[in-house]
Amino acid sequence: MSRKLPHPIPYQGSKRKLAPMIHSVLPKTIETFYEPFAGSAAMTLYAAHHMLAKRFVIGDCLEAIIELWRSIIESPEETSSRYAAVWKGQCDDNPDYFNIVRERYNSHHDAVDLLYLICRCVKNAVRFNSSGRFTQSADKRRLGMAPDKMADAILGASILLRGKTELRKGDWLLTSDDARPADLVYMDPPYLGTTIGRDKRYHQQLEQDRLILGLEAMNRRCIRFALSYDGMTGDKEYGPPLPDHLGMTRLLLHAGRSSQATLQGKADETIESLYLSQNLKAPEKLALEQPKSLQQELAL
Ligand SMILES: C[S@@+](CC[C@H](N)C(=O)[O-])C[C@H]1O[C@@H](n2cnc3c(N)ncnc32)[C@H](O)[C@@H]1O
Residue 87 alpha carbon to ligand 1 centre in Å: 25
Handedness of CA 291, 294, 296, 298 (dihedral sign): negative
Q: Give me the mean pLDDT over the 108-113 stretch.
A: 98
Q: In this predicted structure, what is the pLDDT of residue 257?
A: 66
% residues pLDDT > 90 (the chain): 68
Q: Give me the mean pLDDT over the 203-226 stretch.
A: 88
Residue closest via CA to ligand 1's atom 13 equals 37
Q: Please say whether the beta carbons of 279 and 224 come within 8 A.
A: yes
What are the tens digits of pLDDT across the range 149-195?
Answer: 999 999 999 999 999 999 999 999 999 999 999 999 999 998 765 44
User: 210, exposed or middle or buried, with CB in 10 Å at 0-12, 13-18, 19+?
Assistant: middle
CA angle, 63 as apex, 59 and 67 as ends, to 5°? Answer: 85
Residue 92 alpha carbon to ligand 1 centre in Å: 34
Q: In sequence order, what are the residues at sequence separation of 6 or more whose Cβ sits closer than 8 angstroms to the Cβ of residue 96?
A: none
Nearest to 36 by CA among 145, 141, 189, 164: 189
Residue 264 alpha carbon to ligand 1 centre in Å: 27
What are the tens digits of pLDDT across the range 254-276?
Answer: 877 655 555 566 667 788 899 99
Name the residue ranges covered by the structural domains of the chain.
1-300
Q: Please say whether the beta carbons of 190 and 11 come within 8 A.
A: no
Residue 287: pLDDT over 90:
no
Q: How confident is the model at residue 282 (pLDDT cuts 50, 70, 90)?
A: confident
Residue 213: pLDDT over 60:
yes
For the chain, the farthest-separated pair of C-alpha atoms sits apart, in whole angstroms, at 58
Q: In this predicted structure, what is the pLDDT of residue 163?
A: 98
Beta-bridged to residue 138, according to DSSP, are: 121
Q: Give me the mean pLDDT over the 13-36 stretch.
A: 94
% residues pLDDT > 70 (the chain): 84
Residue 232: pLDDT over 80:
no
Ligand 1 atom with the shortest distance to the CA of 43:
8
Q: In this predicted structure, what is the pLDDT of residue 92?
A: 78
Handedness of CA 194, 110, 121, 14 (dihedral sign): positive
Task: Give the distance, in angstroms, between the CA of residue 196 and the centroid of all CA atoms in the same chain.
Answer: 19
Q: In sequence order, what are the residues at sequence separation of 6 or more whose Cβ sits closer than 8 angstroms to the Cβ of residue 272?
A: 18, 228, 230, 231, 252, 253, 255
- Arithmetic mean of pLDDT over the chain: 88
What are the tens digits of pLDDT across the range 234-255?
Answer: 666 666 778 999 999 999 898 7
Nearest to 42 by CA among 2, 69, 62: 69
Q: How confident is the model at residue 3 (pLDDT cuts 50, 70, 90)?
A: low
Residue closest via CA to ligand 1's atom 7 equals 14
Q: Say how many CA atoms lie within 13 Å of 133 toward its Cβ.
A: 11
What are the tens digits of pLDDT across the range 68-109?
Answer: 999 999 999 999 999 999 999 998 778 899 999 999 999 999
Q: How far apart are CA 178 and CA 41, in angstroms?
A: 19
Q: In sequence order, what are the residues at sequence separation of 6 or more whose Cβ sits closer than 8 angstroms to the Cβ of residue 65?
A: 9, 38, 39, 111, 114
CATH architecture of 1-300: 3-Layer(aba) Sandwich (3.40)
**Which range has the worst mean pLDDT, 193-202, 277-286, 288-297?**
193-202
Q: How far apart are CA 198 and CA 232, in angstroms?
A: 21
> Which helix (DSSP H) or strand (DSSP E) does residue 249 occupy?
strand 249-257
Q: How far apart are CA 122 and CA 10, in angstroms?
A: 12
Residue 61 alpha carbon to ligand 1 centre in Å: 7
Tell how strand 269-276 and strand 224-233 pair up: antiparallel
Residue 200: pLDDT over 90:
no
